[in-house]
Chain A
Amino acid sequence: MPVQTIKERNAGKVGVVTIGATQEQGGTRTSVVKIGGESSLPFLHFEGEMPNKPVIAMEVVDRVPEEWNDEVKNAFTGVLDNPVAWAKKCVEGCGADLIFLRLQSADPELGNKSPEDCVKTVKDVLAAVGVPLAVVGCGVDEVDNKIIPAVAEACAGENLLLGFASQENYNTIVAACMVHKHNLIAQTPLDINICKQLNILITEMGLTADKIVLDTNIGGLGYGIEYAYSILERGRLGTLQGDRMLAMPTLGTVGFEAWKAKEANVSIEEFPGWGEQKERGILWEAMTATALLQSGLDLLVMRHPEAVKLVQKNIADLMEPSSV
């Protein structure tokens, strides 16, 4: 009896966002990253296109992240106080596709650095590595509304990915992205209705959909990952059905969420039943990433080199065309 493969016919697809610009394109990057373009559910190569593989951005902070787990910090011994060297290590040592630079030291309570200093950090990292950059602020809206536009202006041509636009605070950063031709991260709090509405508000300002990446917010493994999973899946299904206001590639701060979990951090002495902390922590981050790849994440922001290595392998395997 012949078996016919059931293939979904989809009306819509995820838009493609290009991050970075080479010399010919007006920037200084040696590589650019394209994300999105899927016309099927994740990795279903037999019924649709997946022209761009999911990519990994590694997180670099412009101050020593004292609060990070020692296991993660040990992986970057000697470069933690130097974002330039740190970024180089991520690219050269770990094969990061992008650098995700957090300008935390602009926070009045974490260094209160000026927009000029922030611009200098970004410029230095740009000079040190050839991969595209994502740059986000410190999380204090009034500060970020000064530093991100300054970065956008100083780095015009580099086609950065800038964050974050939120429902409460999006005008300034959207305008900066439009004027200086950068991409934008639209961040919403695990709520697909707000996600869609924010995209409408941003595109109504005039920034086109192919310059927007969605951070729908994720939960780490064991701490709400299933909400993130179902929202990403719902967004992809909506996209495939033709909903253009959800049809942007997605980003998830995997490292940030995974390493918040107690299970990633506590020692075997404290919880003997959980096993060694080192591999547990690495797997906590890697598992968070692999689960969310199955729900359609396009850009994973990660921390630990070993977790990155595992997920790179996972992505390479998943990108192999299936036998069907």
Chain B
Amino acid sequence: MEIIGERINGMFKDIREAIKNKDKTAVHEWAIKQTNNGAAWLDISTGAAAEDPMDAMKWLVETVQEVVNTPLAIDTTNYDIMEEALKLCKRPALINSCHADRYKIERVFPMAVKYGAKVIALAMSEESGIPKTADARVALAMELVAAADEFGLPFDDLYIDPLLLPVNVAQDHGVEAMEALRQIKLLSDPPPKTTCGLSNISQKCANRKLLNRTMLVMLMACGLDSAIADAADDDLMEAAATARIIMNKEIYCDSYIDLYKTNKY
């Protein structure tokens, strides 16, 4: 279970201020904290409010890489910014993200191959929006898998996101996402990887952390390989480590939680 640490995001006030003042302190702190707590990737997002998003992204990428070697997930819908960021990444990065629209695939997949990056691809398109059923999600996932084959992106470099919605307003979507995960794992050999924006499940709900980690464990049982999530949430990280053990993905030992935080998968 690769946790993609979500915290370096301009949506959060401290990161927004850091970008504005070019003050590295908070960025460094979160990069180290998430890495030490087991994050396999660090998501990097300037947030919508950044004055010069290109400049802000480049600054964030360079600032984070000053203190950690953790690979980065570049989080932007602007593919020119994406490409500039990929050029700066010292280790192969994760593109976050690409929709299942043909014109976006044609821009993103060749770029991923060029820079050796992996791609988070969403099982949604402009036309479909977020699909209501598992079947509709899987149909879009199949298009993404076929496109990976077409553009020479290895199947296991493709991280398909079946899309989670908040459980309070879209309660019927959770089971559809789980079923979609099971089926996505059957689409190719080797199968594509899977991911999700975990914290979406609990937007504006009570007991957010409990919802997040319960959902994480349930999704893992359905074939979830990674999640964009709060890597600083100890309970969440311990649940991920424990689920891996119960699923026999990792050989048990008494120090399995510490080991998970070192191994990061």
Please list the residues of chain A having a beta carbon within 8 angstroms of any beta carbon in chain B.
Answer: 192-194, 196-197, 200, 234-235, 238, 242-246
Cβ of B171 under 8 Å from chain A: no
Tell me which of A197, A234, A235, A244 contacts B253 (CB under 8 A).
A197
User: Is A200 touching B250 in the complex (CB atoms < 8 A)?
Assistant: no
Q: Quick check: A200 and B253 within 8 Å, CB to CB?
A: yes
B251 touches A197 (CB 8 A): no
Tell me the minimal C-beta distance from A319 to chain B in angstroms.
28
In the complex, residue of chain B having the shortest beta-carbon distance to the beta carbon of A197: B253
**Is the pair A245, B265 in contact by a Cβ cutoff of 8 Å?**
no
B253 touches A196 (CB 8 A): yes
Contacts of B150 in A (CB 8 A): none
The answer to whether A193 and B252 touch across the interface, beta carbons within 8 angstroms, is: yes
> Is B252 touching A200 in the complex (CB atoms < 8 A)?
no
User: Which A residues touch B263, using CB under 8 A?
Assistant: 242-244
Nearest CB in chain A: distance from B250 CB, A: 7
A193 near B259 (CB under 8 angstroms)?
no
A193 interface neighbour in B253, B258, B265, Cβ under 8 Å: B253
Chain A nearest CB: distance from B71 CB in Å? 15
Main secondary structure of the interface of A (DSSP, over half): helix
Instruction: State the CA gap A196–B263 with chains docked (Å).
Output: 14
**Closest beta carbon of chain B to A245's beta carbon, Å:** 7
A192 surroundings in chain B (CB, below 8 A): 251
Complex CA distance for A1 and B35, rounded to whole angstroms? 49
- B248-265: CB near A (< 8 Å → 1, else 0) gives 001111110011000101
Q: Which residues of B contact A196 (CB under 8 A)?
A: 251-253
Contact (Cβ within 8 A) B251 A200: no
B250: chain A residues at CB < 8 Å are 238, 243
Closest partner residue, chain A, to B258 (CB atom): A200
User: Are the CB atoms of B255 and A193 closer together than 8 Å?
Assistant: no
Per-residue contact bits, chain B 134-178, to A (CB 8 Å; 1 contact, 0 not): 000000000000000000000000000000000000000000000
Closest to A193 in B: B252
- In the assembled complex, the CB of B234 is this many whole angstroms from the nearest CB of chain A, namely 20
CA distance A245 to B254 in the complex (A): 12
A243 to B263, CA, bound (A): 8
Q: A243 touching B255 by the CB < 8 A rule?
A: no
Contacts A194-B253, A196-B252, A197-B255 known; list 4 others, CB within 8 Å.
A196-B251, A242-B265, A243-B250, A246-B251
B252: chain A residues at CB < 8 Å are: 193, 196
- Please tell me if the beta carbons of B265 and A243 are within 8 angstroms of each other in the complex: no
Q: In the complex, what distance in Å separates the CA atom of A168 from the CA atom of B259?
A: 21
B2 to chain A, nearest CB (A): 12
A197 CA to B258 CA, complexed, in Å: 11
What are 21 A-B residue pairs whose CB atoms fall within 8 Å in the complex? A192-B251, A193-B251, A193-B253, A193-B254, A194-B253, A196-B251, A196-B252, A197-B253, A197-B254, A197-B255, A200-B253, A235-B251, A238-B250, A238-B251, A242-B263, A243-B250, A243-B251, A243-B263, A244-B263, A245-B259, A246-B251
Shortest CB-to-CB span from A299 to chain B, Å, is: 22
Bound complex: CA of A196 vs CA of B250, how far in Å?
Answer: 11
Question: What's the least CB distance linking B111 to chain A, in Å?
Answer: 24
- Alpha-carbon distance between A244 and B250 when the two chains are bound, in angstroms: 11
B157 shortest CB reach to chain A, Å: 13
Contact in complex: A200, B265 (CB < 8 Å): no
Docked Cα-Cα span, A245 to B251, in Å, equals 10
Residue of B nearest to A239 (CB): B251
From residue B57, how far is it (CB to closest CB) to chain A in Å? 30
Q: In the assembled complex, which residues on chain B have CB atoms less than 8 Å from the CB atom of A194?
A: 253
Min CB gap B230→A, angstroms: 25
Least distance between B178 CB and chain A CB atoms (Å): 25
Q: CB within 8 A of A234: which of B251, B254, B258, B259? A: B251
* CB within 8 Å of A: which B39-93 residues: none
Least CB distance from B233 to A in Å reads: 24
Chain B: CB-nearest residue to A11: B265
B258 cross-chain contacts in A, Cβ below 8 A: 200
Shortest C-beta distance, B138 to chain A (Å), equals 26
Complex-state Cα separation, A234 to B251, whole angstroms: 9
Within the assembled complex, what's the spacing in Å between the Cα atoms of A244 and B265? Answer: 13
Query: How far, in Å, is A197 (CB) from chain B's closest CB?
Result: 4
Residues of B within 8 A of A243 (CB): 250-251, 263
Query: What is the CB-to-nearest-CB distance from B189 to chain A, in angstroms, rounded to a whole number?
Result: 11
Within 8 Å CB of A200, what residues of B?
253, 255, 258-259
* Nearest CB of chain A from residue B24's CB, rounded to whole Å: 32
Q: Give the chain B neighbours of A235 by CB distance below 8 A.
A: 251
User: CA of A192 to CA of B250 in the docked complex: distance in angstroms?
Assistant: 11
